[in-house]
Copies of this chain bind each other. A is one copy, B any other.
Amino acid sequence: MIELMKILSEETRGTRERILLSAEALFAERGFEVVSLREITGAAGANVAAVNYHFGSKEKLIDAVVTRHLTPVNEERLSQLDRLEKQFFRTPIPVEEILKAFLSPVLQHIASGEMSEDLFKKFMGRLIGERGYSLPTSACSLFAVMAARFAAAFQRAVPQLNEESALWRMHFSFGVMAHTLTNGDTLRQLSDGRSGNPSTETLLVNIIDFCRAGIEFEGREL
């Protein structure tokens, strides 16, 4: 939150931008539904009415915040998947590569420095895990379209599995990502710091390894 203050104090940013930054941070930390406009505008040093002037409503603000980060990440995901599908023409794409195509765009976006690393992880985690009520429908369908493409890729990647099992193992993987990205610091508290302080890159590599093992193992199916 100190990080946020530093960014917001730069007078160069307009009200619209400051609201977006505050909203991102608060949404990432506590979720979309529970954060009020007054908290957002308070943190942004703006008037409450500014949200409705610049965005129209709270829902449209959420939409703007989500779209602005999810769109580029999603496009990069799909572009990497396209590349893989061309590269592995008619042969199964390695599971690890698909998982990388899903997660590495998050790393790239972090590197671009648009949001603090910690906040962006939590934000992206929510976009994977929070469906239905709290997210605007536009954001949901944005994710759904992308997820459908990945579902197809996963199924081709594990031809020994039936359709159901492949889908569920993808779902399991999304759970790992959502929970780890959003609640990563929970483990630190819970383990009294014995979980160390791995870099995001290290963490994502370990998530990928975990999911790859879970997806590829052969055993009981659904």
Contact = CB atoms under 8 A, between A and B. Distances in A.
A75 interface: no
Contact of A179 (B34, B171, B220): B171
Chain B CB count within 10 A is highest, among A165, A175, A177, A203, for A175
Interface string A118-137: 00000000000101111000
Contact of A167 (B134, B177, B191, B222): B191
A187 to B, nearest CB: 5
A177 B195 CA distance: 20
A66 to B, nearest CB: 17
Interface of A: 30-31, 33-34, 129, 131-134, 144, 147-148, 151, 163-165, 167-169, 171-172, 174-180, 183-184, 186-187, 190-191, 194-196, 198, 202-203, 205-207, 209-211, 213-217, 219-222
Given A168-B198, A172-B180, A214-B214, 18 more contacts: A34-B34, A147-B190, A148-B191, A167-B194, A168-B203, A168-B206, A169-B210, A171-B180, A171-B184, A171-B195, A172-B179, A172-B206, A175-B178, A175-B183, A176-B176, A198-B222, A209-B219, A213-B214
